[in-house]
Structure 1
Protein backbone atom coordinates (compact mmCIF):
# COMPACT_ATOMS: atom_id res chain seq x y z
CA UNK A 1 0.00 0.00 0.00
CA UNK A 2 1.26 3.47 -0.88
CA UNK A 3 -1.39 5.85 0.43
CA UNK A 4 -5.11 5.05 0.94
CA UNK A 5 -7.03 7.63 -1.06
CA UNK A 6 -10.68 6.63 -0.64
CA UNK A 7 -13.14 9.30 0.46
CA UNK A 8 -13.63 7.61 3.82
CA UNK A 9 -9.92 6.88 4.27
CA UNK A 10 -8.99 10.43 5.22
CA UNK A 11 -9.14 10.76 8.97
CA UNK A 12 -9.45 6.99 9.41
CA UNK A 13 -6.61 5.18 7.62
CA UNK A 14 -5.00 8.21 5.97
CA UNK A 15 -4.10 11.32 8.00
CA UNK A 16 -6.25 14.30 7.12
CA UNK A 17 -5.29 17.95 7.54
CA UNK A 18 -6.80 18.08 11.02
CA UNK A 19 -4.68 15.15 12.19
CA UNK A 20 -1.50 16.56 10.67
CA UNK A 21 -2.03 20.02 12.14
CA UNK A 22 -3.11 18.68 15.53
CA UNK A 23 0.07 16.66 16.02
CA UNK A 24 2.40 19.46 14.94
CA UNK A 25 0.62 22.10 17.02
CA UNK A 26 -0.62 20.15 20.05
CA UNK A 27 1.26 16.83 20.02
CA UNK A 28 -0.45 13.52 20.77
CA UNK A 29 -3.87 14.97 21.58
CA UNK A 30 -7.25 13.22 21.39
CA UNK A 31 -7.58 13.95 17.65
CA UNK A 32 -4.25 12.29 16.87
CA UNK A 33 -4.80 9.36 19.22
CA UNK A 34 -8.25 8.80 17.77
CA UNK A 35 -6.83 8.62 14.25
CA UNK A 36 -4.15 6.15 15.25
CA UNK A 37 -6.65 3.98 17.07
CA UNK A 38 -8.67 3.67 13.86
CA UNK A 39 -5.58 3.26 11.71
CA UNK A 40 -4.00 0.48 13.74
CA UNK A 41 -7.32 -1.36 14.09
CA UNK A 42 -7.67 -1.39 10.29
CA UNK A 43 -4.38 -3.21 9.63
CA UNK A 44 -4.49 -6.93 8.77
CA UNK A 45 -3.40 -9.24 11.57
CA UNK A 46 -2.95 -12.48 9.61
CA UNK A 47 -0.52 -11.40 6.87
CA UNK A 48 2.44 -9.07 6.29
CA UNK A 49 1.58 -5.43 5.62
CA UNK A 50 3.69 -2.58 4.26
CA UNK A 51 2.77 1.05 3.65
CA UNK A 52 5.01 3.63 1.97
CA UNK A 53 3.10 6.63 3.27
CA UNK A 54 5.39 9.50 4.24
CA UNK A 55 2.62 11.46 5.99
CA UNK A 56 2.41 8.90 8.81
CA UNK A 57 5.83 9.82 10.16
CA UNK A 58 4.78 13.45 10.49
CA UNK A 59 1.82 12.87 12.79
CA UNK A 60 2.67 10.35 15.48
CA UNK A 61 3.54 7.01 13.86
CA UNK A 62 6.56 6.30 16.04
CA UNK A 63 4.89 7.62 19.20
CA UNK A 64 2.00 5.24 18.54
CA UNK A 65 4.17 2.22 17.81
CA UNK A 66 6.11 2.29 21.07
CA UNK A 67 2.93 1.67 23.07
CA UNK A 68 1.33 -0.76 20.60
CA UNK A 69 1.43 -4.58 20.75
CA UNK A 70 2.60 -4.71 17.12
CA UNK A 71 5.74 -2.70 17.74
CA UNK A 72 7.91 -5.82 18.06
CA UNK A 73 6.99 -7.07 14.58
CA UNK A 74 7.23 -3.66 12.90
CA UNK A 75 10.14 -2.24 10.91
CA UNK A 76 10.32 1.45 9.98
CA UNK A 77 12.34 2.37 6.89
CA UNK A 78 14.18 5.68 7.11
CA UNK A 79 14.44 6.69 3.47
CA UNK A 80 16.90 9.43 2.67
CA UNK A 81 17.81 11.24 -0.53
CA UNK A 82 20.51 13.71 -1.51
CA UNK A 83 19.23 16.81 0.29
CA UNK A 84 19.97 19.26 -2.52
CA UNK A 85 18.20 17.10 -5.12
CA UNK A 86 15.30 16.50 -2.78
CA UNK A 87 14.81 20.21 -2.11
CA UNK A 88 15.18 21.16 -5.79
CA UNK A 89 12.42 18.69 -6.64
CA UNK A 90 10.02 20.41 -4.21
CA UNK A 91 10.87 23.80 -5.70
CA UNK A 92 10.46 22.68 -9.32
CA UNK A 93 7.05 21.15 -8.59
CA UNK A 94 6.01 24.16 -6.45
CA UNK A 95 5.08 21.75 -3.67
CA UNK A 96 5.51 24.44 -1.02
CA UNK A 97 3.56 27.22 -2.73
CA UNK A 98 0.16 26.39 -1.23
CA UNK A 99 -0.63 26.15 2.47
CA UNK A 100 -3.08 23.29 2.05
CA UNK A 101 -0.33 21.22 0.40
CA UNK A 102 1.93 21.91 3.37
CA UNK A 103 -0.82 20.96 5.81
CA UNK A 104 -1.74 17.68 4.10
CA UNK A 105 1.55 16.39 2.71
CA UNK A 106 4.49 18.25 4.21
CA UNK A 107 4.99 20.50 7.25
CA UNK A 108 4.09 24.16 7.72
CA UNK A 109 6.88 26.41 9.04
CA UNK A 110 4.43 28.19 11.35
CA UNK A 111 3.77 25.03 13.36
CA UNK A 112 4.44 25.59 17.03
CA UNK A 113 6.46 22.43 17.60
CA UNK A 114 9.34 22.19 15.14
CA UNK A 115 13.03 21.50 15.60
CA UNK A 116 14.53 23.94 13.10
CA UNK A 117 13.80 27.65 13.51
CA UNK A 118 12.13 28.80 10.24
CA UNK A 119 12.41 32.59 10.33
CA UNK A 120 15.61 32.98 8.33
CA UNK A 121 14.30 30.58 5.68
CA UNK A 122 10.97 32.34 5.26
CA UNK A 123 12.76 35.48 4.06
CA UNK A 124 13.49 33.49 0.89
CA UNK A 125 9.82 32.85 0.10
CA UNK A 126 8.73 29.53 -1.38
CA UNK A 127 12.35 28.48 -1.94
CA UNK A 128 13.06 29.07 1.73
CA UNK A 129 10.02 27.07 2.76
CA UNK A 130 11.23 24.13 0.66
CA UNK A 131 14.69 24.42 2.22
CA UNK A 132 13.27 24.56 5.73
CA UNK A 133 11.00 21.55 5.16
CA UNK A 134 13.83 19.46 3.71
CA UNK A 135 16.08 20.18 6.68
CA UNK A 136 13.32 19.85 9.28
CA UNK A 137 12.56 16.35 8.03
CA UNK A 138 16.25 15.45 8.16
CA UNK A 139 16.24 16.62 11.78
CA UNK A 140 13.13 14.59 12.55
CA UNK A 141 14.65 11.43 11.15
CA UNK A 142 17.60 11.85 13.50
CA UNK A 143 15.24 12.79 16.36
CA UNK A 144 13.23 9.59 16.10
CA UNK A 145 16.33 7.43 15.96
CA UNK A 146 17.89 9.16 18.95
CA UNK A 147 14.76 9.04 21.09
CA UNK A 148 13.18 5.74 20.06
CA UNK A 149 16.00 3.74 18.46
CA UNK A 150 16.12 1.33 21.40
CA UNK A 151 12.40 0.53 21.10
CA UNK A 152 11.65 0.63 17.37
CA UNK A 153 13.52 -1.25 14.65
CA UNK A 154 14.75 1.23 12.04
CA UNK A 155 16.27 0.28 8.69
CA UNK A 156 18.18 2.81 6.59
CA UNK A 157 17.75 3.25 2.84
CA UNK A 158 19.15 5.79 0.39
CA UNK A 159 16.89 6.54 -2.57
CA UNK A 160 19.78 6.73 -5.02
CA UNK A 161 20.78 3.20 -3.98
CA UNK A 162 17.44 1.39 -3.67
CA UNK A 163 16.46 2.21 -7.26
CA UNK A 164 19.27 -0.09 -8.40
CA UNK A 165 19.03 -3.91 -8.33
CA UNK A 166 21.92 -4.19 -5.87
CA UNK A 167 20.57 -1.51 -3.55
CA UNK A 168 17.06 -2.92 -3.65
CA UNK A 169 18.36 -6.37 -2.81
CA UNK A 170 20.29 -4.98 0.16
CA UNK A 171 17.14 -3.27 1.44
CA UNK A 172 15.23 -6.54 1.16
CA UNK A 173 18.03 -8.31 3.04
CA UNK A 174 17.88 -5.69 5.80
CA UNK A 175 14.15 -6.42 6.00
CA UNK A 176 14.84 -10.13 6.34
CA UNK A 177 14.18 -11.14 2.73
CA UNK A 178 17.25 -12.57 0.98
CA UNK A 179 16.07 -12.47 -2.62
CA UNK A 180 16.49 -10.57 -5.86
CA UNK A 181 14.34 -7.47 -6.20
CA UNK A 182 11.90 -6.67 -8.98
CA UNK A 183 12.06 -2.94 -9.66
CA UNK A 184 8.79 -1.32 -10.80
CA UNK A 185 8.82 1.61 -13.24
CA UNK A 186 9.04 5.13 -11.84
CA UNK A 187 5.81 6.59 -10.50
CA UNK A 188 5.00 10.12 -9.34
CA UNK A 189 8.32 11.34 -10.74
CA UNK A 190 8.87 14.97 -11.69
CA UNK A 191 8.23 15.29 -15.43
CA UNK A 192 10.65 18.22 -15.71
CA UNK A 193 14.37 17.40 -15.94
CA UNK A 194 16.40 18.16 -12.80
CA UNK A 195 17.61 21.76 -12.61
CA UNK A 196 21.33 21.13 -12.17
CA UNK A 197 22.07 24.79 -11.48
CA UNK A 198 19.45 24.92 -8.73
CA UNK A 199 20.78 21.71 -7.19
CA UNK A 200 24.31 23.17 -7.13
CA UNK A 201 23.06 26.38 -5.48
CA UNK A 202 21.25 24.44 -2.76
CA UNK A 203 24.27 22.23 -2.19
CA UNK A 204 26.46 25.32 -1.80
CA UNK A 205 23.94 26.83 0.64
CA UNK A 206 23.93 23.70 2.78
CA UNK A 207 27.72 23.59 2.83
CA UNK A 208 28.07 27.25 3.80
CA UNK A 209 25.49 27.08 6.59
CA UNK A 210 27.13 24.03 8.12
CA UNK A 211 23.79 22.30 8.65
CA UNK A 212 24.16 19.64 11.36
CA UNK A 213 20.93 17.76 12.04
CA UNK A 214 22.32 15.75 14.94
CA UNK A 215 23.54 18.87 16.73
CA UNK A 216 20.19 20.61 16.25
CA UNK A 217 18.31 17.61 17.60
CA UNK A 218 20.63 17.48 20.61
CA UNK A 219 19.87 21.15 21.35
CA UNK A 220 16.15 20.52 21.01
CA UNK A 221 16.24 17.55 23.38
CA UNK A 222 18.57 19.25 25.87
CA UNK A 223 16.04 22.09 26.09
CA UNK A 224 13.44 19.56 27.23
CA UNK A 225 11.27 19.51 24.12
CA UNK A 226 9.67 16.57 22.32
CA UNK A 227 7.49 16.22 19.24
CA UNK A 228 4.70 14.40 21.06
CA UNK A 229 3.92 17.24 23.52
CA UNK A 230 2.43 20.72 23.23
CA UNK A 231 4.33 23.70 24.61
CA UNK A 232 3.46 27.22 25.66
CA UNK A 233 6.27 28.69 23.60
CA UNK A 234 7.83 27.76 20.30
CA UNK A 235 10.44 25.04 20.96
CA UNK A 236 12.81 26.04 18.16
CA UNK A 237 16.56 26.31 17.78
CA UNK A 238 18.48 28.19 15.13
CA UNK A 239 20.25 26.49 12.26
CA UNK A 240 24.00 26.13 12.53
CA UNK A 241 26.02 28.65 10.54
Structure 2
Protein backbone atom coordinates (compact mmCIF):
# COMPACT_ATOMS: atom_id res chain seq x y z
CA UNK A 1 0.00 0.00 0.00
CA UNK A 2 1.09 3.56 -0.68
CA UNK A 3 0.65 5.73 2.42
CA UNK A 4 0.73 9.54 2.31
CA UNK A 5 0.86 11.77 5.40
CA UNK A 6 2.01 15.32 6.17
CA UNK A 7 4.64 17.09 8.22
CA UNK A 8 3.12 20.52 8.74
CA UNK A 9 2.07 23.08 11.31
CA UNK A 10 -1.59 23.61 10.51
CA UNK A 11 -3.19 26.61 8.77
CA UNK A 12 -0.90 25.57 5.95
CA UNK A 13 -3.37 24.31 3.38
CA UNK A 14 -3.98 20.75 4.52
CA UNK A 15 -7.63 20.99 3.49
CA UNK A 16 -6.66 22.05 -0.02
CA UNK A 17 -4.05 19.31 -0.12
CA UNK A 18 -6.63 16.66 0.75
CA UNK A 19 -8.89 17.86 -2.06
CA UNK A 20 -5.97 17.90 -4.50
CA UNK A 21 -5.06 14.30 -3.69
CA UNK A 22 -8.68 13.16 -3.78
CA UNK A 23 -9.19 14.67 -7.22
CA UNK A 24 -6.01 13.33 -8.80
CA UNK A 25 -5.21 9.99 -7.15
CA UNK A 26 -8.10 7.86 -8.43
CA UNK A 27 -7.22 4.77 -6.38
CA UNK A 28 -6.68 6.62 -3.10
CA UNK A 29 -8.76 6.81 0.04
CA UNK A 30 -8.16 10.38 1.21
CA UNK A 31 -8.96 12.04 4.53
CA UNK A 32 -8.19 15.53 5.72
CA UNK A 33 -8.78 14.85 9.41
CA UNK A 34 -10.75 12.29 11.42
CA UNK A 35 -12.60 14.53 13.88
CA UNK A 36 -15.80 12.68 14.75
CA UNK A 37 -16.19 11.89 18.43
CA UNK A 38 -15.57 8.20 17.77
CA UNK A 39 -12.28 8.96 16.02
CA UNK A 40 -10.25 10.23 18.95
CA UNK A 41 -8.04 7.56 20.40
CA UNK A 42 -8.71 5.32 17.40
CA UNK A 43 -8.03 7.24 14.17
CA UNK A 44 -6.85 10.53 15.68
CA UNK A 45 -4.50 10.87 18.66
CA UNK A 46 -6.33 11.87 21.81
CA UNK A 47 -5.02 14.27 24.42
CA UNK A 48 -3.16 11.59 26.36
CA UNK A 49 -1.18 10.53 23.28
CA UNK A 50 -0.17 14.11 22.48
CA UNK A 51 0.85 14.84 26.06
CA UNK A 52 2.78 11.60 26.46
CA UNK A 53 4.65 11.89 23.19
CA UNK A 54 5.70 15.49 23.77
CA UNK A 55 6.76 14.86 27.36
CA UNK A 56 7.90 11.22 27.51
CA UNK A 57 8.51 10.37 23.86
CA UNK A 58 7.31 7.36 21.90
CA UNK A 59 6.15 5.35 24.90
CA UNK A 60 4.10 2.17 24.95
CA UNK A 61 0.67 3.89 25.15
CA UNK A 62 1.58 6.01 22.12
CA UNK A 63 2.88 2.94 20.31
CA UNK A 64 -0.36 1.09 21.07
CA UNK A 65 -2.43 3.89 19.52
CA UNK A 66 -0.37 3.77 16.35
CA UNK A 67 -0.53 -0.01 16.18
CA UNK A 68 -4.32 0.26 16.16
CA UNK A 69 -4.42 3.11 13.66
CA UNK A 70 -1.99 1.59 11.20
CA UNK A 71 -3.71 -1.78 11.43
CA UNK A 72 -7.05 -0.14 10.61
CA UNK A 73 -5.50 1.58 7.60
CA UNK A 74 -3.90 -1.59 6.26
CA UNK A 75 -7.15 -3.50 6.71
CA UNK A 76 -8.74 -1.18 4.13
CA UNK A 77 -6.79 -3.13 1.51
CA UNK A 78 -6.69 -0.25 -0.97
CA UNK A 79 -3.82 0.79 -3.27
CA UNK A 80 -3.32 4.16 -1.60
CA UNK A 81 -4.28 5.83 1.68
CA UNK A 82 -3.70 9.56 2.31
CA UNK A 83 -4.36 11.65 5.41
CA UNK A 84 -3.29 15.29 5.55
CA UNK A 85 -3.95 16.00 9.25
CA UNK A 86 -1.32 18.18 10.92
CA UNK A 87 -2.00 16.53 14.29
CA UNK A 88 -0.38 13.19 13.50
CA UNK A 89 3.28 14.26 13.38
CA UNK A 90 2.91 15.79 16.86
CA UNK A 91 1.95 12.40 18.30
CA UNK A 92 4.62 10.12 16.86
CA UNK A 93 3.63 9.56 13.23
CA UNK A 94 7.16 9.21 11.87
CA UNK A 95 8.30 7.03 14.76
CA UNK A 96 5.29 4.78 14.18
CA UNK A 97 6.11 4.19 10.53
CA UNK A 98 8.90 1.85 11.59
CA UNK A 99 6.18 -0.56 12.75
CA UNK A 100 4.83 -1.01 9.23
CA UNK A 101 5.46 -4.42 7.67
CA UNK A 102 7.87 -4.52 4.75
CA UNK A 103 6.58 -3.76 1.28
CA UNK A 104 4.70 -0.52 1.86
CA UNK A 105 5.55 2.79 0.20
CA UNK A 106 5.48 5.87 2.44
CA UNK A 107 5.39 9.50 1.35
CA UNK A 108 5.49 12.46 3.73
CA UNK A 109 4.50 15.89 2.42
CA UNK A 110 6.38 18.57 4.35
CA UNK A 111 4.00 21.39 3.51
CA UNK A 112 5.00 24.91 4.45
CA UNK A 113 3.40 28.31 4.06
CA UNK A 114 4.68 31.86 4.17
CA UNK A 115 5.41 32.41 7.87
CA UNK A 116 3.74 35.82 8.09
CA UNK A 117 0.55 34.52 6.51
CA UNK A 118 0.59 31.47 8.78
CA UNK A 119 0.94 33.64 11.87
CA UNK A 120 -1.85 35.88 10.61
CA UNK A 121 -4.06 32.81 10.25
CA UNK A 122 -3.30 31.77 13.85
CA UNK A 123 -4.32 35.27 14.94
CA UNK A 124 -7.53 35.18 12.91
CA UNK A 125 -8.57 31.83 14.34
CA UNK A 126 -7.67 32.45 18.01
CA UNK A 127 -5.04 29.70 17.84
CA UNK A 128 -2.69 28.93 20.77
CA UNK A 129 -4.47 31.40 23.05
CA UNK A 130 -4.96 28.92 25.90
CA UNK A 131 -3.65 25.64 27.21
CA UNK A 132 -6.53 23.55 25.91
CA UNK A 133 -6.04 24.78 22.35
CA UNK A 134 -2.30 24.17 22.51
CA UNK A 135 -2.71 20.70 24.00
CA UNK A 136 -5.36 19.52 21.53
CA UNK A 137 -4.19 21.00 18.25
CA UNK A 138 -0.74 22.55 18.53
CA UNK A 139 2.15 22.37 21.02
CA UNK A 140 2.79 23.90 24.42
CA UNK A 141 6.13 25.52 25.32
CA UNK A 142 6.03 23.69 28.65
CA UNK A 143 6.49 20.31 26.98
CA UNK A 144 9.69 18.50 27.91
CA UNK A 145 10.44 17.34 24.34
CA UNK A 146 11.29 20.48 22.37
CA UNK A 147 13.77 21.25 19.63
CA UNK A 148 13.52 25.05 19.81
CA UNK A 149 14.01 26.98 23.05
CA UNK A 150 10.73 28.84 23.67
CA UNK A 151 12.01 31.33 26.24
CA UNK A 152 13.15 34.11 23.87
CA UNK A 153 9.83 33.90 22.03
CA UNK A 154 7.62 33.96 25.13
CA UNK A 155 9.03 37.39 25.93
CA UNK A 156 7.39 38.62 22.71
CA UNK A 157 3.83 37.83 23.77
CA UNK A 158 1.21 35.73 22.02
CA UNK A 159 2.61 36.31 18.54
CA UNK A 160 6.01 35.25 19.85
CA UNK A 161 4.50 32.05 21.22
CA UNK A 162 2.91 31.34 17.85
CA UNK A 163 6.21 31.96 16.10
CA UNK A 164 7.93 29.54 18.48
CA UNK A 165 5.35 26.87 17.64
CA UNK A 166 5.78 27.41 13.92
CA UNK A 167 9.57 27.14 14.17
CA UNK A 168 9.31 24.06 16.39
CA UNK A 169 7.32 22.31 13.68
CA UNK A 170 9.68 23.55 10.97
CA UNK A 171 12.69 22.14 12.83
CA UNK A 172 10.94 18.85 13.64
CA UNK A 173 10.00 18.48 10.00
CA UNK A 174 13.58 19.21 8.92
CA UNK A 175 14.94 16.68 11.40
CA UNK A 176 12.61 13.96 10.18
CA UNK A 177 13.44 14.75 6.55
CA UNK A 178 17.20 14.83 7.05
CA UNK A 179 17.10 11.65 9.10
CA UNK A 180 15.09 9.73 6.52
CA UNK A 181 17.71 10.20 3.77
CA UNK A 182 15.59 9.18 0.78
CA UNK A 183 15.66 7.30 -1.53
CA UNK A 184 17.65 4.62 0.34
CA UNK A 185 15.18 4.70 3.24
CA UNK A 186 11.58 3.50 2.81
CA UNK A 187 10.23 7.01 3.49
CA UNK A 188 10.25 9.74 0.84
CA UNK A 189 9.75 13.33 2.00
CA UNK A 190 8.43 15.93 -0.43
CA UNK A 191 8.97 19.58 0.44
CA UNK A 192 6.17 21.85 -0.74
CA UNK A 193 4.95 25.39 -0.14
CA UNK A 194 1.25 26.20 -0.15
CA UNK A 195 1.97 29.13 -2.44
CA UNK A 196 3.41 26.69 -4.99
CA UNK A 197 1.13 23.68 -4.68
CA UNK A 198 -1.95 25.85 -5.30
CA UNK A 199 -0.60 26.58 -8.80
CA UNK A 200 -1.04 24.15 -11.64
CA UNK A 201 2.68 23.65 -12.15
CA UNK A 202 3.36 23.16 -8.44
CA UNK A 203 0.47 20.75 -8.04
CA UNK A 204 1.62 18.76 -11.07
CA UNK A 205 5.14 18.47 -9.66
CA UNK A 206 3.89 17.10 -6.34
CA UNK A 207 1.36 14.75 -7.89
CA UNK A 208 3.95 13.37 -10.29
CA UNK A 209 6.29 12.67 -7.37
CA UNK A 210 3.46 10.82 -5.63
CA UNK A 211 2.86 8.63 -8.65
CA UNK A 212 -0.32 10.21 -9.99
CA UNK A 213 -1.28 9.09 -13.50
CA UNK A 214 -0.04 11.43 -16.25
CA UNK A 215 -2.37 13.83 -17.97
CA UNK A 216 -4.43 16.83 -17.03
CA UNK A 217 -4.77 17.58 -13.34
CA UNK A 218 -7.78 18.85 -11.47
CA UNK A 219 -6.90 21.88 -9.36
CA UNK A 220 -9.49 22.38 -6.61
CA UNK A 221 -10.47 25.84 -5.42
CA UNK A 222 -8.37 27.28 -2.64
CA UNK A 223 -9.69 26.35 0.79
CA UNK A 224 -9.42 29.12 3.38
CA UNK A 225 -10.51 27.75 6.73
CA UNK A 226 -9.34 30.99 8.32
CA UNK A 227 -12.13 33.17 6.98
CA UNK A 228 -13.95 35.09 9.68
CA UNK A 229 -12.61 35.41 13.19
CA UNK A 230 -10.40 38.31 14.25
CA UNK A 231 -9.67 40.73 11.39
CA UNK A 232 -6.14 40.79 10.01
CA UNK A 233 -5.14 44.41 9.49
CA UNK A 234 -2.23 45.95 7.63
CA UNK A 235 -0.89 47.05 10.99
CA UNK A 236 -0.89 43.45 12.22
CA UNK A 237 0.87 42.23 9.08
CA UNK A 238 3.58 44.85 9.59
CA UNK A 239 3.95 43.74 13.21
CA UNK A 240 4.27 40.11 12.18
CA UNK A 241 6.72 41.00 9.44
CA UNK A 242 8.92 42.80 11.96
CA UNK A 243 8.68 39.81 14.30
CA UNK A 244 9.78 37.36 11.62
CA UNK A 245 12.56 39.71 10.54
CA UNK A 246 14.10 39.34 14.01
CA UNK A 247 14.93 35.73 13.13
CA UNK A 248 17.57 36.91 10.71
CA UNK A 249 18.84 33.99 8.64
CA UNK A 250 17.21 31.28 10.77
CA UNK A 251 17.19 28.04 8.81
CA UNK A 252 15.32 24.93 10.06
CA UNK A 253 17.82 22.54 8.48
CA UNK A 254 20.72 24.21 10.29
CA UNK A 255 18.84 24.01 13.58
CA UNK A 256 18.10 20.30 13.06
CA UNK A 257 21.55 19.12 11.97
CA UNK A 258 23.19 19.15 15.45
CA UNK A 259 20.70 16.47 16.50
CA UNK A 260 21.89 14.29 13.64
CA UNK A 261 25.56 14.88 14.37
CA UNK A 262 25.38 13.79 18.01
CA UNK A 263 22.97 10.95 17.34
CA UNK A 264 20.27 12.18 19.69
CA UNK A 265 16.69 11.04 19.22
CA UNK A 266 14.59 13.74 20.91
CA UNK A 267 11.52 11.51 21.06
CA UNK A 268 13.05 8.27 22.28
CA UNK A 269 11.00 7.00 25.24
CA UNK A 270 12.23 7.61 28.76
CA UNK A 271 10.29 6.30 31.73
CA UNK A 272 8.74 9.19 33.69
CA UNK A 273 10.16 9.88 37.13
CA UNK A 274 8.25 8.30 39.98
TM-score band w.r.t. shorter chain = 0.7 to 0.9
Name the structure 1 match of 2:237.
199
Q: Does structure 2 retain, via aligned residues, the 8 Å contact 1:88–1:195?
A: no
**Residue 53 of structure 2, aligned match among 14, 17, 23:** 23
Compared CA separation, residues 70 and 101, structure 1 to 2 (3 A): farther
Name the structure 2 match of 1:110.
142
Are 2:93 and 1:61 aligned?
Answer: yes
**Superposed CA offset, 1:37-82 (max 9, x none):** 1110111223321111111111111111134126741211110111
Post-superposition offset of 1:187:
4.8
Post-superposition offset of 1:5:
1.7
Distance (Å, rounded) in 1 between the aligned partners of 2:59 and 2:90:
14
SS of corresponding position for 1:127: helix
Name the structure 2 match of 1:236.
none
Name the structure 1 match of 2:37.
7
**Superposed CA offset, 1:75-124 (max 9, x none):** 11110111121112112322010211111111111110110000111122
Q: How does 1:220-239 map to 2 (within 5 A)?
A: 220-222=259-261, 224-230=263-269
Distance (Å, rounded) in 1 between the aligned partners of 2:228 and 2:165:
22
Post-superposition offset of 1:28:
0.6
Q: Does structure 2 retain, via aligned residues, the 8 Å contact 1:99–1:108?
A: yes
Higher RCO, 1 or 2 (CA under 8 Å, sep at least 6)? 2
Name the structure 2 match of 1:209.
247
Structure 1 window deviating more from structure 2 (45-54 vs 132-141): it is 45-54
Distance (Å, rounded) in 2 between the aligned partners of 1:13 and 1:46:
17
TM-score, length basis structure 1: 0.87
**Superposed CA offset, 1:18-53 (max 9, x none):** 111111101110111011011101112233211111
**Residue 160 of structure 1, aligned match among 195, 199, 205:** 195
SS of corresponding position for 1:117: coil
Q: Which runs of 5+ in 2 are unaligned?
A: 1-30
Post-superposition offset of 1:219:
3.0
Q: How many residues align?
A: 232
Post-superposition offset of 1:230:
4.4
Distance (Å, rounded) in 2 between the aligned partners of 1:208 and 1:189:
26
Whose strand proportion is higher, 1 or 2? Answer: 2
SS of corresponding position for 1:50: strand
Name the structure 1 match of 2:112.
80
Q: Does structure 2 retain, via aligned residues, the 8 Å contact 1:24–1:227?
A: no
Distance (Å, rounded) in 1 between the aligned partners of 2:124 and 2:188:
34
Q: Does structure 1 retain, via aligned residues, the 8 Å contact 2:124–2:228?
A: no
Q: Does structure 1 retain, via aligned residues, the 8 Å contact 2:124–2:226?
A: no
Q: Which runs of 5+ in 1 are unaligned?
A: 233-241
